[in-house]
Amino acid sequence: MTPSAKFFAQLTVVFTAAGVAVFPPSAPLVERWYAKGFYPVVQLNVTALSNRTGTPLFDIGMVVLAALAIGGWAWWIKTARKQRSVRPIARGLAGTVTAAALIYLWFLAAWGLNYARPPLESMLPFDASRITPAAVRALAERAVSEANRTHAAGHAAGFPAIADRPAPLVAALHDVERELGRPRATVLGSPKTSLLSPFFRASGVSGMIAPFFLETLVNPDLTGPERPAVLAHEWAHLSGFAPESDASFVGLLAAWRADPASQYSAWLELVSVAANQLQPITQRLVLEQLAPGPRADQEAIRQRLKALVRPVEHAAWTTYDRMLKSQGVEAGVQSYSRVVQLLLGTNALADLEPPGPQAPKPSSLQ
């Protein structure tokens, strides 16, 4: 490739990435051609490939990119000194910017365009008038009651190991995503531990989808009662529900349709999420109703989170907040709590069976 052709190719990549970032495609276009067309095919093949190895390809990619960046810049700086010219530095800058643009385009094509999909509330029957302080309190109280009720059965069933893929949770997620219009079942990622585990521990991150190879990475320190809900959340991301609120909504519905351990995990998760939206006095009154079993599980989670390193946590969540906002999620990390609004504004919980020996079954999403 001639220097001029190489320069033109680099400009094309950079301007393409910049153009998509500044002028993203419309939500209907993304939903029709990407979310229900291109992405399911990509996800099927890429996750099937990455599932073949227990070592995250994301980790391998990070190591390779870091080695290339360090080696490349060492060479450019050495050459610049030897030639006493800034041209090698300019070539290094051009190469770095081009590589960053290519990585961004890869991110968008592999998974990131899911952020541009229409929000779930625009795709489901949704009534914002249902969302009131009284309704939020009622939901928190219900979560406490259900966590108390399902605690014994959940623990008796046993929680999955960190690398397990619980079959009932897999089947339940497929049911939910089919009702939400996904054209084919998601190939679910085998949970993996990553080189990022110390970062997860220090920042309080429970897990993530590694977008470049569509892998499911989990914090190995998760307690047993946390694992099903976290896994369902990350699998919902893999299914194409990028905003945190949407992934939480889909993950909770899947867990409630699955085995007793998953059901309990989902209710315990909702206890914290819903209670956090209450005023302090009301929150205390609601949480006082929590039975000793779920209370002990919450305490175990608090003990796990003592490994947090506050500066790392602040930097991680600030960066993630900015990334979410750059992808059109206006609420940033606050979008996690919007699952409460989704649950209250839709019919998702309308037909849950009352307490009894039968497993709760969420209503149809249609």
Whether residue 126 lies inside any domain: the answer is: yes
Last residue of a domain, one of 116, 132, 161: 116
Q: Let me know whether 39 and 82 are in one domain.
A: yes
**Domain-located, residue 364:** no
Do 24 and 93 sit in the same domain of this protein? yes
Do residue 209 and residue 230 come from a single domain?
Answer: yes
User: Between these two residues, 363 and 238, which has the higher pLDDT value?
Assistant: 238
CB neighbourhood size of 73 (10 A)? 16
CA dist 36 and 197 (Å) reads 33
Q: What pLDDT, on a 0 to 100 scale, did the predictor assign at position 80?
A: 92
Looking at the fold, whether 209 and 296 belong to one and the same domain comes out as yes
∠ CA 177-301-269, rounded to 5° = 30
Q: Quote the pTM value.
A: 0.90
My answer on whether 248 and 150 are in the same domain is: yes
Q: Does residue 353 belong to any structural domain of this protein?
A: no
What average pLDDT does the segment 316-326 reach? 64
Q: Within this chain, do residues 98 and 72 fall inside the same structural domain, yes or no?
A: yes
Mean pLDDT of the region 94-116? 94
Q: Is 360 inside any structural domain? A: no
* Domain encompassing residue 19: 3-116
Residue 215, classed as helix, strand or coil, is: strand
Q: Which of 225, 220, 207, 290 is nearest to 262 (CA)?
A: 225
Query: 155 in a domain, yes or no?
Result: yes
Residues of the chain with pLDDT > 90, as a percent, come to 73
Q: Are 107 and 236 part of one and the same domain?
A: no
Percent of the chain whose predicted confidence (pLDDT) is above 70 = 90
Strand 191-192's sheet: what is its strand order? Answer: 191-192, 215-218, 207-210
Q: What are the distances in angstroms from CA 100 to CA 65, 97, 131? A: 11, 5, 42
Inter-axis angle of helices 292-304 and 133-157, nearest 10: 90
Summarised one tens digit per residue, pLDDT across range 39-72 is: 999 999 999 999 999 999 999 999 999 999 999 9
Helix (H) or strand (E) holding 217: strand 215-218
- pLDDT tops 80 at residue 178: yes
pLDDT of 305 higher than 70: yes
Q: How many folded domains does the chain comprise?
A: 2
| Same-domain status, 112 and 179 | no
pLDDT over 90 (residue 351): no
Q: How far apart are CA 59 and CA 20, in angstroms?
A: 27
Q: Quick one: 44 and 153 in the same domain? A: no
Q: Is residue 337 included in any domain, yes or no? A: yes
d(CA 236, CA 249): 9
Contacts of 178 (CB under 8 A, 6+ apart): 185
pLDDT score of 19 = 93
Q: What is the pLDDT of residues 138-175, one digit of tens each?
A: 999 999 999 999 999 999 999 999 999 999 999 999 99
Where among 96, 116, 136 does a domain terminate? 116
- pLDDT, residue 307, reads 85
Would residue 130 count as lying in a domain? yes
* 111 and 216 belong to one structural domain: no
Average the pLDDT over 89-97 and give the result.
92
Instruction: Inform me whether the pLDDT recorded for 360 exceeds 50.
Output: no
- Whether residues 82 and 180 fall in one domain: no
What pLDDT is attached to residue 329? 54
Residue 265, domain member (yes or no) = yes
| Nearest C-alpha neighbor of 110 from the set 238, 9, 20 | 238
User: Do 290 and 334 fall into the same domain?
Assistant: yes
Boundary (domain end) residue, out of 86, 116, 146: 116
